[in-house]
Amino acid sequence: MRNESTIRVLLADDEAMIRAGVRAVLAAGPGIEIVAEAADGREAVEAARAHRPDVALLDIRMPRLDGLSACEEIRRTLPDTAVAVLTTFSEDAYIARALGGGATGFLLKSGDPHELIAGVRAVAGGAAFLSPKVARHVISELGGERLTRGAAARARTESLTAREREVLALVGAGLSNAEIARRLHLVEGTVKGYVSAVLDRLEVGNRVQAAIVAYEAGLVVETGHDG
């Protein structure tokens, strides 16, 4: 968990215009600093090792080493660096692999600038962040499986207590433990216990997987971040 007030970010995308746009958006977010940029995955891994950022923001399709492989390498060698993936609607199939590689944020390149800032802050704080538009699109693209998956997700969440479902919904909305604690008027340690229990009961490995279950079960409502 970070203690410093400034979130240090590595930005990797092979398109200079995309990097410039993301850099401009993040520069508008107080307390966020771009400490390094990279034009390919290999360069991103090297920059991550050199700068040890709080968050590595990676495009999926990059030369030399793609963003998913870079994610896996960064998470393996720099466990304190959170990884968020920059994605488009055409790259749904990569989300499962990114999850397995340790990414905890999925942000839409053409999304709301405020969402990009919120996502970087969420993953830096140890939370998961799945862009609501990405989540809705991924679930809708499941086609005929959508109802089955929704029913299965609802069945999985039925074993949770009302409070655990409430916590799961806020995890799905991208809130950190501290934000959930403020929202529910609990101490952060209690929230941490609830989150651990939810992950265990749902048999998922991380907060993003739990967030997907929350979306599929229809628990997530649009909510703003505190502070």
Is the same domain home to 71 and 155? no
Alpha carbons within 13 A on the beta-carbon side of 49: 10
What is the distance between the alpha carbons of residues 127 and 105, in angstroms, rounded to a whole number? 9
Does residue 59 lie within any of the structural domains?
yes
Domain count, the chain: 2
What pTM value is reported for the model? 0.67
Axis-axis angle for helices 162-172, 207-216 (nearest 10): 110
Output the domain CATH number for residue 134: 3.40.50.2300
Q: Give residues with Cβ within 8 angstroms of 28, minimum separation 6.
A: 113, 117
Is the same domain home to 130 and 110? yes
Tens of pLDDT along 148-204? 666 777 878 888 899 999 999 999 888 889 899 999 999 999 999 999 999 998 888
Residue where one domain finishes, among candidates 86, 113, 140:
140
What is the distance between the alpha carbons of residues 135 and 215, in angstroms, rounded to a whole number? 7
What is the distance between the alpha carbons of residues 150 and 193, in angstroms, rounded to a whole number? 26
| Residue 117 belongs to domain spanning | 7-140
Residue where one domain finishes, among candidates 140, 167, 199:
140
In this structure, what token pair is assigned to residue 187?
């101490």
Is the same domain home to 51 and 134? yes
Is the same domain home to 126 and 184? no
Is the same domain home to 135 and 150? no
Output the domain CATH number for residue 159: 1.10.10.10
Is the same domain home to 67 and 99? yes
Tens of pLDDT along 59-118? 988 988 888 899 999 999 999 999 999 877 555 567 767 777 788 888 888 778 888 898
